[in-house]
């Protein structure tokens, strides 16, 4: 097992344990069904890429593992909320998520909406808690930046653009803007959060944001390419979800999209040179995203 694979596995396990401990227990009170839906969705598995970015960037600045873990868990709650809502019939209308029935299929649409809402708000409860960081200014900055990345100027705004987009008329710049908001902003704050916890200088935070923006685009390009390959081969292992939507593969062509992904990956790695060997895992992660098969 490579050092990166080992780190990804270890962080995934740590974050799962932290999320499990933070989430409300399923009890006999009136909120039982809601808590069950929250736990069902948040603990269902997944790659935990965003927590990896938070934990690894925090390590560069000597942040305690407990503080980084709590922040990583909060960001993963937000990512999970977005998936729960994306799967709804009003959005992408997906019945399966992470190999099991989507939240609205397992429970019902109303419960899924409330579970997503509860996960989102719970994330900010966690970020604002003194146990995340003893410095109130750092906690306020975390809340501000995560809220911006999640809202109308970030993930939610990108999802709105995706819903109303017209593939036939979308330019490559429009696709980049859409994906930078929908995917890139949460990648960026996941990475920058470690620097915020470490009270890092602004230019170091900006380097991590630039790195994360680039790998966010690479992640989306490789996703588009995997969808295109699945559609071409009618693969049973991966359902193409990008049909009818603006994608890098459709706008640029398969080969040019692959070339662009490689250029962006190399560019992302260059942003990390300021950190020296402390950022080696993040550099390896960039190429992991480029070469992923799922």
pLDDT tens digits for range 99-147: 899 999 999 999 999 999 999 999 999 999 999 999 999 999 999 999 9
**pLDDT at site 236:** 47
pLDDT, tens digit (0-9, with 9 covering 90-100), for 200-244: 999 999 999 999 999 999 999 999 899 888 777 655 444 545 555
65 close to 93: Cβ distance less than 8 angstroms:
no
Asked if residue 279 has pLDDT above 80, the reply is: yes
- Where would I find the H helices in the chain? 3-22, 32-42, 49-60, 65-86, 103-106, 109-128, 136-150, 155-164, 172-179, 185-197, 202-233, 248-252, 254-271, 280-291
**pLDDT at site 168:** 54
**pLDDT at site 213:** 96
Q: What is the mean pLDDT of the chain?
A: 92
Q: Which whole-number Å values give the CA distances from 62 to 187, 273, 287, in the listed order? A: 21, 18, 24
Percent above pLDDT 70 for the chain:
93
Hey, what domains does the chain have and what are their CATH numbers? 3-291 (1.10.600.10)
**pLDDT at site 31:** 86
**211: DSSP letter:** H
Residue 160 CB coordination number (10 Å): 14
Considering the entire predicted model, what is its pTM?
0.92
pLDDT, tens digit (0-9, with 9 covering 90-100), for 151-206: 999 999 999 988 887 655 678 888 899 989 999 999 999 999 999 999 999 999 99
**pLDDT at site 228:** 84
Average pLDDT over residues 65-73: 98
**pLDDT at site 26:** 85
Closest CA to 182 of 258, 86, 263, 38: 86
**pLDDT at site 134:** 96
Average pLDDT over residues 257-283: 96
Average pLDDT over residues 53-76: 98
Average pLDDT over residues 250-277: 94
């Amino acid at each position: 097992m490579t050092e990166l694979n080992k780190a990804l596995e270890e962080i995934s396990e740590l974050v799962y344990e932290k999320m499990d401990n933070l989430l409300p227990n399923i009890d006999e009170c009136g909120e039982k069904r809601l808590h069950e839906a929250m736990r069902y969705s948040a603990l269902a598995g997944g790659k935990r890429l965003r927590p990896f970015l938070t934990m690894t960037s925090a390590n560069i600045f000597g942040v305690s593992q407990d503080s980084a873990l709590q922040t990583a868990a909060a960001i993963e709650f937000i990512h999970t909320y977005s998936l729960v809502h994306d799967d709804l019939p009003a959005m992408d209308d997906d019945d399966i998520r992470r190999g099991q029935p989507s939240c609205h299929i397992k429970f019902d649409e109303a419960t899924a909406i409330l579970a997503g809402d509860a996960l989102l708000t719970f994330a900010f409860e966690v970020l604002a808690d003194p146990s995340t960081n003893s410095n109130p200014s750092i906690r306020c900055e975390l809340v501000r930046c995560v809220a911006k990345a999640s809202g109308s100027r970030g993930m939610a705004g990108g999802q709105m653009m995706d819903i109303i987009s017209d593939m036939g008329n979308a330019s490559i710049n429009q696709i980049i803007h859409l994906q930078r908001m929908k995917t890139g902003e949460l990648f960026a704050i996941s990475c920058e959060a470690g620097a915020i916890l470490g009270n890092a200088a602004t230019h170091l935070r900006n380097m991590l944001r630039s790195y994360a923006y680039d790998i966010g685009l690479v992640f989306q390009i490789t996703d588009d390419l995997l969808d295109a390959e699945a559609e071409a081969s009618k693969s049973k292992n991966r359902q193409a979800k990008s049909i009818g939507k603006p994608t890098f593969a459709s706008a640029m062509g398969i080969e040019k999209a692959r070339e662009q992904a490689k250029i962006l990956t190399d560019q992302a790695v260059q942003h990390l040179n300021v950190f020296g060997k402390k950022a080696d895992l993040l550099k390896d992660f960039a190429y992991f995203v480029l070469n992923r098969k799922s």
